[in-house]
Amino acid sequence: MPEGIIVKALSGYYYVKPLREGKISPEDEIIQCRARGIFKKKGLSPLVGDNVIYSLTENGEGMVDEINPRDSELIRPPVANVSLAVLLFSVREPDLNLQLLDKFLVHIEHAGLDTIIVLTKQDLADEDGEAIVHVKKLYEQIGYEVLVTSSRTGSGSEEVRKRLSGIISVFAGQSGVGKSSLLNRIVPGLSLETSEISMRLGRGRHTTRHVELMDIGEGGYVADTPGFSQLDFLELGVEELSSCFREFTPYAADCKFRGCTHLHEPGCRVIEAWEAGEIEDSRYEHYKLFFNEMKDKKRRY
């Protein structure tokens, strides 16, 4: 039976691109498929990015018969087999929001994906670019790859495109930061709808309505997803939070108490590292903020 990859899911239909020898076949047409009822009974739902076995039906459409094992699965956005998360945050319009960036990083770390941070709208930065230099240094010290782009000038776009070749990646980040504009730069002729920033609200309209894989060439596929203004922590246990802060890991194993929350315990190596300047103030403050937010949510639910 033929295999394919789901490149779009919309209104109960799954759009499958045929695979030949494990690779997407550019010359084959996308097949509009329904999913077998057995998935619903098993509590399963096909996702964009799924490698599936399908069959053709009499009306020229298809039926998704099996879902092959997934390498990864994201809840929000709902996409499978992603190996890289690309977090886009603008330098200006909207202003860089490190709290939201750290919240995204927590969720991506929990999902077990590699991450690159892409700072967009370099052309709107202050003349000396001090904010970019500071943020780039901060996150590179933690171990994240940081790229800087401008869709207006094209700066950094080719670097991003090369980084995404040969893999499925997911674009995520604050609304209005230029996800569609960057994709339009990476893929000539794509012409995704873009939206001007609402200066009154300080954010952009959501221009992307569903998850869809886009072919960017050289075997790379990007899941462009609806913009997010907030994430919740309901799928993440509070005891898992500290492991999602990479720079805590070398110190946490040496804390005096097992199950240390890194908030107030004596002999906490994470607190000591923060006090010594080895952990950035903003990162530790966001950890405490997220910890308390998670505790409040657990109490309410």
In terms of Cβ atoms closer than 10 Å to its own Cβ (0-12, 13-18, 19+), residue 214 is middle
* CA separation for the pair 74, 235 (Å, rounded): 11
Q: What are residue 171's DSSP bridge partners? A: 86, 224
Question: Is 288 one of the annotated binding-site residues?
Answer: no
* CA separation for the pair 193, 224 (Å, rounded): 12
Tokens of 149: 């782009």
Question: Is 264 one of the annotated binding-site residues?
Answer: no
Residues 114, 206, 245, CA angle at the centre, nearest 5°? 30
Q: What are residue 33's DSSP bridge partners? A: 14, 62
Question: Is 181 one of the annotated binding-site residues?
Answer: yes
Question: Is 153 one of the annotated binding-site residues?
Answer: no
Question: Is 120 one of the annotated binding-site residues?
Answer: yes
* CA separation for the pair 37, 256 (Å, rounded): 52
Question: Is 37 one of the annotated binding-site residues?
Answer: no
Residues 231, 278, 136, CA angle at the centre, nearest 5°? 55
Q: Which amino acid is at 74?
A: L
What contacts 244, CB < 8 A, 6 or more positions away?
Answer: 105, 106, 107, 109, 110, 236
What contacts 291, CB < 8 A, 6 or more positions away?
Answer: 238, 241, 261, 263
Question: Is 33 one of the annotated binding-site residues?
Answer: no
User: Cis ω on the peptide bond leading into residue 78 (within 30° of 0)?
Assistant: no
Q: Which amino acid is at 148?
A: V
Question: Is 244 one of the annotated binding-site residues?
Answer: no
Question: Is 297 one of the annotated binding-site residues?
Answer: no
Question: Is 173 one of the annotated binding-site residues?
Answer: yes
Question: Is 99 one of the annotated binding-site residues?
Answer: no
Question: Is 179 one of the annotated binding-site residues?
Answer: yes
Tokens of 172: 């995520």
Question: Is 174 one of the annotated binding-site residues?
Answer: yes
* Annotated binding-site positions for Zn(2+): 255, 260, 262, 268
* Annotated binding-site positions: 120-123, 173-181, 255, 260, 262, 268
* Annotated binding-site positions for GTP: 120-123, 173-181
